[in-house]
Amino acid sequence: MESLSKAKRVGIMGGSFDPVHIGHLIIAQDAAERLELSEVVFIPAAIPPNKKSMQRADAEHRLNMLRLAVESDVGFSVSDIELERGGLSYTIDTVRALKKERPDVEWVLVVGSDTLVDLHNWYKIDELLELCEVATFLRPGEHEMSGLEDKVLLPQHLKGKLLDNLVDSHLVEISSTEIRMRIAEGLAIRYLVPPEVEMYIYEHGLYRG
């Protein structure tokens, strides 16, 4: 019988979600299955440190679209913790707050390989890697050690910890940037975002300018 004291594992998916698309949801589903997560929490950033001037939709719209995207999946939830805090959204601050709020949970930060090779630039990355597990999902065509080792610019003990937690997934080549560009050009986004998100974007005239 499974121990009743075993901590729940909950995934964290952060980002701008400007807008959320099916690629995000596929990663979340793969994460839940392959990392044995009981829940995946989507956390939209107030101001991502690496994208300070790139947001197109305001926080309320990004939050509403996320809620619409995940409302039918009991394993997914949305937190506005970074939006409420405001300012630059440093992941270390979010993880500290989550651990304080839910100390019984084992937190797993879910990232893509493009984020993995930028982690050396993250604020207090050493402490972050002590506070939570980081699982990296490989992008289409990547293999576990295909040049990633040389691109991860962190001390060897941290690099090894990260490279031991690489996960293949059903990733598809969709980006929020592409979706915004298609809308601005009058092209269809059906099948790239959930239907509820597509309707919300058109009803509110987002990304047209």
Q: How many structural domains is the chain composed of?
A: 1
pLDDT in tens, 32-72: 999 999 999 999 999 887 665 566 899 999 999 999 999 99
Q: Which of 30-39, 77-86, 141-150, 173-182 has the lowest mean pLDDT?
A: 141-150
Is 209 within the bounds of a domain?
A: no
Who's near 74: CB < 8 A, 6+ residues apart?
A: none
| Domain hosting residue 178, numbered range | 8-203
Is 70 within the bounds of a domain?
A: yes
Q: Which of 7-21, 133-147, 193-207 has the lowest mean pLDDT?
A: 133-147
Give the CA distances from residue 50 to residues 21, 99, 161, in Å, rounded to whole numbers and listed in that order.
20, 24, 24
pLDDT at res. 140: 63
CA distance 123 to 128: 9
CA distance 96 to 130: 11
Is 32 within the bounds of a domain?
A: yes
pLDDT at res. 175: 92
CA-nearest of 13, 9, 14, 12 to 35 is: 9
pLDDT at res. 5: 46
H or E segment at 42?
strand 39-44
